Chain A
Amino acid sequence: MAFQLLLNVFLGFMWMLLTVTFEPVAFLKGYLFGLLIIFAFRRFFHSRFYLLNVIAVFKLIYIFVRELILSNIAVVKTVLKPKLDINPGIFAYPTVLEKDWEITILANLITLTPGTLVIDLSPDNKILYVHAMDINTKKESIDSIKNTFEKAIMEVGR
């Protein structure tokens, strides 16, 4: 992905040199033409067309913001409830992600989900230990949410 991006920037500069106009607009024009060229030659790269990765990154940021707002609503509800009916506990969550940065992003996402907080990661990077605010009702739904997270993260890393 990084190589394709660098190639695209290079093509943008190439356009500036070819047209002898050194302005940001000329660079933008060259960048767009370069995008077309890279799309046309996408089968020669090892990774996929990089615009798809960019879209996946934006999707991930959207998920981050949405989860942050939802988790805040959940925290406000638990704290301001007159009776304290929480059932905390730590459960193990086996992850399928392998690279370090993917696991970091997953841990951050889990920490920002309603009612969960990552406590520890097992030494072989396979299991995340998650502290949950309410362990009875939330476990299944949290697992399904995390499957969508893992899918979104894998989409970025593909």
Chain B
Amino acid sequence: MIEIVKLIVLFLIMVGAFLNLVAALGVIRLPDVYTRNHAASKASALGIMSILLGTFLYFYFINHHFNSRILLGIAFFFLTTPVAGHLIGRASYNSGVKLWDKSVQDDLKRSKNNTEIRE
């Protein structure tokens, strides 16, 4: 039983570390703010959540210590990372950061121009 738990914990923490590494690589590799935001807001969210879950299971099954703060941390990350990603994207769009030059389509720009014309 303990060995199985240890294997699951090992798997969760390794996956979390791997996902965080991928998020960092994505921030370096991808071309513009918005695509970097994809990597940073998704991969690091699940990465941190699985590291926290692994830590929780370790302390619960091996030290018999139920730490509810870790569960709360998971819940807060789950709720706040998409909002943070959205806000960074929105702030950079509104302050005029250009999309990558190979971007295909930009509906938001058209609608912003329309409202300016109407005003």
In the complex, the answer to whether A88 meets B82 with C-beta atoms within 8 Å is: no
The proximity string for A residues 51-85 relative to B, scoring 1 for CB distances below 8 Å and 0 otherwise, is 00000000000001000110110011011100010
B38 sits at the interface (CB 8 A): yes
Nearest chain B CB to A65 CB, angstrom units: 9
B42 sits at the interface (CB 8 A): yes
What A residues does B102 contact at CB under 8 A?
Answer: 87-88
In the bound assembly, the distance between CA atoms of A111 and B83 in angstroms comes to 8
What B residues does A135 contact at CB under 8 A?
Answer: 104-105
In the bound assembly, the distance between CA atoms of A80 and B85 in angstroms comes to 21
Given contacts A68-B45, A88-B32, A118-B89, contact A79 B108 (CB under 8 A): no
In the complex, the answer to whether B38 meets A133 with C-beta atoms within 8 Å is: yes
Q: How large is the interface on B (under 10, 10 to 19, 20 to 34, 35 or more residues)?
A: 35 or more
Number of interface residues of A (CB under 8 A): 34
B10 sits at the interface (CB 8 A): no
In the bound assembly, the distance between CA atoms of A86 and B38 in angstroms comes to 12
The proximity string for B residues 91-119 relative to A, scoring 1 for CB distances below 8 Å and 0 otherwise, is 00110000110111111110100000000
In the complex, the answer to whether B43 meets A76 with C-beta atoms within 8 Å is: yes
Name the one of A84, A117, A120 contacting B85, with C-beta atoms under 8 angstroms. Answer: A117
Name the one of A71, A72, A129 contacting B107, with C-beta atoms under 8 angstroms. Answer: A129
Given contacts A118-B86, A131-B89, A133-B35, contact A75 B26 (CB under 8 A): yes
The proximity string for A residues 82-111 relative to B, scoring 1 for CB distances below 8 Å and 0 otherwise, is 001011111110000000000000011001
Name the one of B31, B41, B103, B107 contacting A117, with C-beta atoms under 8 angstroms. Answer: B41
In the bound assembly, the distance between CA atoms of A112 and B37 in angstroms comes to 12
Given contacts A107-B86, A135-B104, contact A75 B93 (CB under 8 A): no
A136 sits at the interface (CB 8 A): yes
In the bound assembly, the distance between CA atoms of A135 and B103 in angstroms comes to 9
In the complex, the answer to whether A72 meets B43 with C-beta atoms within 8 Å is: yes
B29 sits at the interface (CB 8 A): yes
A-B contact pairs, 7 of them (CB 8 A): A68-B78, A76-B22, A84-B31, A90-B109, A111-B86, A129-B111, A135-B105
